[in-house]
């Protein structure tokens, strides 16, 4: 797309707008473009928040630090999307969506899992972070089996 990219209303688009003018968590997307999965940690109470937030739901503080999350994880649960895929993914069904437990943390992340068919995936299977680049310059995270 050109410079004046179409700005699809958020509700119609699975992928959030990601620039500094669009969102206060733009740093998340910048880090992701560098291959880093990151989130916010509350400076006041120390809670690690997922997904990244600008205000802590535990103590209402709004000073956050960005921390790197593990790029490795294991499948905690998974399913397959056969119908009703989000906009832009209609032609990619069937695909796998999983809950991934990040290595060494008590944090589980929901994401697409690429590189494996539903029938071949197993609970506990190792997966690694994959940055999915969209044609319009945005990014999102997935895991690769």
Q: Does 121 bind Zn ion (CB under 5 A)?
A: no
Query: How near is the Cβ of 51 to Zn ion at its closest, in Å?
Result: 15
- The correct pick among 32, 42, 111, 129 for binding Zn ion (CB under 5 A) is 42
For the chain, the straight-line distance linking the first and the last C-alpha, in angstroms and rounded, comes to 31
Q: Does 59 bind Zn ion (CB under 5 A)?
A: yes
Q: How far is Cα 59 from Cα 67, in angstroms, rounded to an integer? A: 19
Torsion of CA 44, 46, 52, 54, to 10 degrees: 0
Q: Does 61 bind Zn ion (CB under 5 A)?
A: yes
- Site stretch for Zn ion (CB under 5 A), options 43-51, 64-72, 112-120, 122-130: 43-51
Q: How far is Cα 142 from Cα 66, in angstroms, rounded to an integer? A: 20
Return residues touching Zn ion (CB under 5 A).
42, 44-45, 47, 56, 58-59, 61
């Amino acid at each position: 797309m050109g410079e004046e990219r179409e700005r699809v209303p958020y509700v119609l688009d699975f992928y959030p707008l990601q620039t500094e003018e669009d969102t206060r968590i733009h740093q998340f997307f910048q880090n992701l473009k560098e291959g880093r999965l990151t989130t916010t940690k509350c400076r006041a109470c120390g809670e690690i928040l997922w997904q990244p937030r600008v205000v802590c739901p535990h103590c209402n503080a709004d000073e956050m630090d960005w921390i790197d999350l593990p790029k490795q994880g294991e499948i905690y649960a998974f399913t397959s999307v056969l119908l009703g895929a989000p906009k832009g993914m209609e032609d990619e069904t069937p695909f796998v969506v999983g809950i991934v437990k990040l290595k060494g943390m008590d944090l589980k992340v929901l994401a697409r899992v690429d590189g494996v068919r539903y029938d071949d995936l197993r609970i506990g299977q190792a997966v690694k972070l994959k940055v999915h680049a969209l044609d319009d310059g945005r990014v999102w995270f997935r895991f690769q089996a």
